[in-house]
Structure 1
């Protein structure tokens, strides 16, 4: 008489069922591990190595047209929390003087990593924090050595102690955003390409109110600065 056969349910409790559950767990675990690996590969990564501590200073000339380097003090600086190591790798400052022309204060703040949580702060933040009142910010074109133009932002800042006229721009990767929103979008676009861009804030000001002579002198200084930079320095300040 033939023996009756009992179907085996791999999902049933007991030793055989336990092996079935284990196989399912292994398959699910493998799928999760694969998804995790893909996510890690697609995670945005920094695209630029941090510049060396002394490289920024070497890239910026001490003579810019008729102006020459005088000192590294006297500039309006971002509030201390904005100068923390988590925001900027380096902050470079200089004051340049020239005969019969207003002195120019130059500040360059560099960060090797710009992401959605950590971004360059714009001068419209640090000047009011220093007690200055600002005029409306306007776009001011600046000519590059190859004839192209970039849009810088400019405003006048005044306090009981002094007045300044300010030019600045920010670079994130190869973008030159004109506003805080543009800056955020530039980071998002880079992240979608799998990149975490570096960033730089370039700010120059003259110790004068926003009259025609002050504007013209500052614009001349910035164009002379861009002309005098090496290819590496120009790439650092304005991108590709």
Structure 2
């Protein structure tokens, strides 16, 4: 047997010998984590659509109902988009922009925007984002009275806003957003709902139902909100029952 050189302890240890023994275990665990993440992504990839062959919003929402009828109006409505998206980023497949008037001369602007496929990065825009992007300041925002309709057993939760135009004057806004069967909620809740639907193999549709009225002074907002609430109730009731699923569900 050969003797161990006296300076063996002082010799440098080769780099390969210094690799921690747990490195292979760590690599295997990392690979398993990546495989699990890939499996989750595959499971979350929707393979069905929530709604296809949807009816035309322009056709199913009447131009005349109750005491309201569509009128020509030169007022430019606030766009339902934020104004910064590319065509690919627009969440809507159908939009309707109209102005209605009643026998007393009250005028209400209606904006409807429906998208067949709501995704994490492309979904219905909230008016409190769109209005400031187009020159309005949000002065008040809060929950509006839930709107009762024949189409739903429970009232529809809504949001009401008072905005001020850059050039003067105000605009009262009332709206709801439906994504799939979910109403209201913030952006995080919408993302979570869309993710849950994805795990079930569904891509939810989404709609913005918005009405607004131009006002000379902010004090007119309460009466305006009451009028818009009545308008929305009458409008939903006037839509054929077979097509109401676009607006309420």
Paired residue for 1:70? 71
Query: 1:44 Cα shift?
Result: 1.0
Query: 1:148 Cα shift?
Result: 2.6
1:130-164 C-alpha deviation (Å, 9 max, x unpaired): 11111232112111125631111111011124311
Hey, which bits of structure 1, 4+ residues long, moved more than 6 A?
36-39
- Of 99, 119, 127 in structure 2, the residue corresponding to residue 115 of structure 1 is 119
- Of 135, 140, 149 in structure 2, the residue corresponding to residue 144 of structure 1 is 149
State the secondary structure of the residue aligned to 1:81. coil
**TM-score, structure 1 length as denominator?**
0.75
Tell me the C-alpha RMSD between the 2 structures: 2.5
Query: 1:219 Cα shift?
Result: 0.7
Paired residue for 1:47? 50
1:153-183 C-alpha deviation (Å, 9 max, x unpaired): 1110111243111011111111113322222
- Of 150, 158, 170 in structure 1, the residue corresponding to residue 164 of structure 2 is 158
State the secondary structure of the residue aligned to 1:206. strand
Query: 1:188 Cα shift?
Result: 1.7
Query: 1:203 Cα shift?
Result: 0.7
Correspondence 1:164-203 to 2 at 5 A:
164-203=171-210
State the secondary structure of the residue aligned to 2:183. coil
Query: 1:187 Cα shift?
Result: 0.9
Number of equivalent positions: 203
**TM-score, structure 2 length as denominator?**
0.73
